[in-house]
Amino acid sequence: MRPFEGIRIIDITHVLAGPFAAYQLALLGADVIKVEPPGDPDQSRDSGPDPALNRANMGSYFLTQGSNKRAITLDLKRQAGQDVLKKLVAGADVLVENFRPGAFEALGLGWEALSAINPRLIYCSMSAFGQKGPRGVQTAYDHVIQATSGIMAATGTPEVNPIKFGAPAIDYATGTMGAFALSAALFQRERTGRGQRIDLAMLDVALMMQASHVTAFLASGKAAKPSGNKHPQATNSAYKTKDGMVMLGASNLRQQKRLWAALGRPEMAKATNEQRLAARDAEESLLDEIMLNRTADEWEEYLQSKHVPAARVRRMEEALADPHLASRGVVHRFEGGAPGVPQSFGVPVAAFTLAHGGPQVDSPPPMVGQHTDAVLSGLGYSADEIAALRAGKVV
């Protein structure tokens, strides 16, 4: 049995962060019902590098976090659509939404209104800046939050900055934090019997991603500065090799001692981190010279054998080809494709395993409104009533 079997989640989110939060719980057994407006599906459905998939509303950005979900269409701006949602809420455990703060309250679908229908409901609102505060009404995406939070200013080199991340890391960190918050609220409900309101902000998550930098600044007044591939310690930085780059991770004193011994220069090991900082330039100059003697793969293999963290700098396609990932089950592959997706593809699953009842993919990402009739029938709507809702463009 998986942790969230028997839990029903209404997923009224779009793009990446919100859908990823619901996806993580779906992998762990939750029954997730994705709600999209008819004629205006989640914008991630037409996002990705494959135009054909985008046109089919099965873009790769959607595929990433669409598995294990059922999909319905529902116009929440119409009273009939709101009535359907309220019926869903009556039997649900969680509702997740990531629209502009105040939008659901304006529709009469806010926390107070829906918790009156179901006092055990966990209502999660995910937004750029939170539901209140001076910026509460503002909107943003991952890259805008990177700009706002200081992450871009600390990324890049001293000469070239600010630079945004190459991946939408804040979106996925927000989704992961959302899954954590939902899990905490569900566990709390087991003890209290009460529902919960979760207010999750992308900006707050971005600050959590810089937690050590935040604390360092508040304690010393020194802000993080862009340093490229260099670290305060020379033994903890990237270097050119015969054929590429290798990232050294000799971070602590024991590791730097092992590194210098492995390189045949044990006299370079330092007794304190202050000594390492003082000798950084000299150490970097020596490592620049030594690292050119082997290929990046050779250095990785050799240094790892000496218990020194080190890795060749890889492209993503190389990382995905690593047999180690297959042993971890990090990616689920849909061989032969899925409805709406003619080609084979794979999606990330979860970043952990459990001894039993762990995360797994059971069903492919759904097409727009694929399960509308089945879900409405489960709520007690007759075939004629469903046909009338469809004729009225409510679904």
Q: What is the pLDDT along the chain (395 residues), one digit of tens a residue?
A: 999 999 999 999 999 999 999 999 999 999 999 999 999 999 999 999 999 999 999 999 999 999 999 999 999 999 999 999 999 999 999 999 999 999 999 999 999 999 999 999 999 999 999 999 999 999 999 999 999 999 999 999 999 999 999 999 999 999 999 999 999 999 999 999 999 999 999 999 999 999 999 999 999 999 999 999 999 999 999 999 999 999 999 999 999 999 999 999 999 999 999 999 999 999 999 999 999 999 999 999 999 999 999 999 999 999 999 999 999 999 999 999 999 999 999 999 999 999 999 999 999 999 999 999 999 999 999 999 999 999 999 99
SS3 247: strand
The C-alpha torsion from 155 through 159 and 162 to 164, rounded to 10°, is: -50
Distance CA 6, CA 265 (A): 60
In the prediction, which pLDDT does 357 show? 97
Q: What is the residue whose two structure tokens read 């649900």?
A: 92
Strand (E) positions, the chain?
8-12, 31-36, 69-73, 94-97, 122-127, 196-201, 238-240, 245-248, 310-312, 331-334, 345-348
Q: Number of helices (H) and strands (E), helices first, in the chain?
A: 18, 11
pTM for the complete prediction? 0.96
What domains, with CATH codes, occur in the chain? 8-209+329-391 (3.40.50.10540), 234-317 (3.30.1540.10)
In the prediction, which pLDDT does 199 show? 98
DSSP characters over 57-111 = T--HHHHHTTTTEEEEE--TTSHHHHHHHHHHHHT-SEEEE-SSTTHHHHTT-SH
Q: Are 114 and 95 in contact (CB under 8 A)?
A: yes
Q: What is the residue whose two structure tokens read 């590429």?
A: 244
Distance CA 291, CA 242 (A): 8
For the annotated catalytic residues, the residue numbers are 171
Q: Are 128 and 201 in contact (CB under 8 A)?
A: yes
Distance CA 134, CA 170 (A): 21
How far, CA to CA in Å, does 23 sit from each of 67, 69, 131, 142?
7, 8, 23, 18
DSSP element (H, E) containing 151: none
In the prediction, which pLDDT does 137 show? 92
Residue 8: both structure tokens together: 């029903």
